[in-house]
Amino acid sequence: MNDNLPQLAENAPARDILSAGIQAANGPVSLACSFSREDVAIIDIAHQAGLTLGVFAIDTGRLNEETYEVAEALVERYRLKINWYFPRHEDVQNLESAEGLFSFRESLDKRHACCAIRKVEPLSRALTGLAGWVTGMRREQSITRSDLQAVERDRLNGGILKINPLLEWTEQQLNAYTEEKRLPVNRLYGQGYRSIGCAPCTRPVQADEDARAGRWWWENPENKECGLHRR
């Protein structure tokens, strides 16, 4: 696998990172969209730049109503086509029949098992045939994301490119962008949420907590990834 990655200036603008990553992928590239502020900003940046970027979303079966509202707003505003992926029905059925509805709160292993079924396996299908994928991850979000690169090789998903155009953005910068552009924003942000995933695994955070403190709040910070972004 050729490891040649685009050479980008430090603190390169998100538009430049996105454009260079798509060009370097030399094939279809899609955004993994959870309808966060980050993902909405990336969709707008790609639209403004005229970049060809697909969008896929994983419906875990436990998303908030407010998340679906953002999806519908994006479809209307950008005439966006969203490719939806769902966990395999039998896998969810077997998990809940054997372990109950809230087994993911019993241990880290059981939470990983739930995420593997609801998120990781659908992601593997979503990435099939892609030359690269785009995420809204930012270094500021948590200690698990502090070593992000603008464009990197995703060894765990066949060596395709992984593009992180907002890696240097601060939360303040992100909020300012979405307000300036009047982009669709999940209503839960106004209720104290700063990172939004599955409804049972997400809650509002306090002002002195980091952005992902409300995700799997019963776990240690170094474990707060679902498996989509294993490093």
Domain boundaries, the chain: 14-223
State residue 167 phi and psi, 5-degree precision: -55, -30
Exactly one of 33, 115, 201, 226 is catalytic; name it.
226
| Whole-structure pTM value | 0.90
Q: What is the mean pLDDT of residues 25-43?
A: 97
Would you give the end-to-end CA distance of the chain in angstroms?
18
SS3 track for 166-208? CCCCCHHHHHHHHHHHCCCCCHHHHHCCCCCCCHHHECCCCCC
The CATH number of 14-223 is 3.40.50.620
Could you tell me which residue, 230 or 141, shows the higher pLDDT? Answer: 141
Q: What is the pLDDT of residue 3?
A: 66
Q: Is the pLDDT of residue 5 over 70?
A: yes
Are 10 and 167 in contact by the 8 Å Cβ rule? The answer is: no
Give the single-character DSSP code of 215.
Answer: B
Q: Is the pLDDT of residue 2 over 50?
A: no
Q: What is the pLDDT of residue 1?
A: 42
State residue 123 phi and psi, 5-degree precision: -60, -40
Q: What is the pLDDT of residue 142?
A: 62
Q: What is the mean pLDDT of residues 162-187?
A: 96
Q: What is the pLDDT of residue 141?
A: 72
Q: What is the mean pLDDT of residues 4-33?
A: 92
CA distances for 179 relative to 40, 76, 190, 210, angstroms: 12, 18, 13, 21
Give the single-character DSSP code of 102.
Answer: T
- Answer yes or no: 226 catalytic: yes
Q: Mapping DSSP to helix (H, G, I), strand (E, B) and coil, where does residue 83 land?
A: strand
Q: Is the pLDDT of residue 230 over 60?
A: no
